[in-house]
Structure 1
């Protein structure tokens, strides 16, 4: 197999894994008081990650851009809410705090959308630049999958059982 085929297969596999995570994240938002912010964000991230495997189109790029801006706005919302009420602190990873989970979730969406947009750009740059962008997106997506599934495993194994609802 050619190196580009292996890279494409790995990027697609990572996208499918991220789509599973975003589908789960969307499904658990339905009992939140502000579900109308988070459900669409995770649902759109699910669609972009899932359909990236099947095809790349201009419409999918626009949807990814919409999810990127939605994720940025919700990340800013959570940061402002956290700093205003002094809930957890900007660098906190205390996943018992709702704002920390929302900050991580919106951050994952933002990073995922940036990587998808980077990988789907039709570049007029030289071949070397396109290869660099492709490797950047692939490496970033692999790291994103490892981090997001690692954080999810940590949350379900060590944090969720101690949370008070």
Structure 2
């Protein structure tokens, strides 16, 4: 993979990290009224901090502590996502974003995808053109999904109470 061009690519990579750090922080914040809030706040706060560190210094992904924390967190996310996917396949009644487990699964997949992309940037902190294109796609997905979920009145009618009082 050829490295992307200079300062513009670095700025784009940092901007993507800033947006994802903001998304993860917002996702952690809206969990406060969830019945298992302490779990979900931690699940989103860890990638928020890790992503913020990458935004400040892309070379941090080569640090042993950063790599270890991200590897453990990604492993937990993948295992949990497999369990949720299995549950979702057995018990689904609607679109994935209409079910709470589906939204949780989507969040875990976003965390895993973003952390994987950050980890792969350890060798080339700015990334190649393909990596930057993936970064932009991953950054846009949660924000577009969030807008869809929060503007879809039909979807909101089936939400549990704790979801209706979030942002």
TM-score normalised to structure 1 length: 0.80
Once residues 66 and 4 of structure 1 are traced to their aligned partners in structure 2, the CA distance between those partners, rounded to angstroms, is 32
C-alpha distance in structure 1 between counterparts of 2:69 and 2:51, whole Å: 11
Q: Is 1:67–2:62 an aligned residue pair?
A: no
Structure scoring higher RCO (CA < 8 A, sep ≥ 6) equals 2
CA distance in 2 between counterparts of 1:62 and 1:134 reads 24
Q: Secondary structure at the match of 1:146?
A: helix
Gaps of 5+ in 2: 161-167
Cα RMSD (Å): 2.3
Matches within 5 A, 1:5-154: 5-55=7-57, 56-57=59-60, 58=63, 59-84=65-90, 86-88=91-93, 93-121=95-123, 134-154=128-148
Q: CA deviation at 1:54?
A: 1.3
Structure 1 residues 68, 164: closer, same or farther in 2, change over 3 A?
closer
Contact 1:16/1:53 (<8 A) preserved: yes
**Following TM superposition, by how much is the alpha carbon of 1:156 offset from its aligned partner in structure 2, in angstroms?**
1.2
Comparing 112-121 and 29-38, the one that deviates more: 29-38
Q: Deviations over 1:83-112 (max 9, x none)?
A: 34x134xxx644221011011100100100
Distance in structure 1 (CA, Å) of the matches to 2:35 and 2:109: 20
**How far is 1:161 from its partner?**
4.0
Deviation at 1:16, TM superposition (A): 0.7
Distance in 1, matches of 2:88 and 2:96, equals 13
Q: How many residues align?
A: 152
Distance in 1 (CA, whole Å) between partners of 2:117 and 2:95 is 23
User: 1:28 Cα deviation (Å)?
Assistant: 1.7
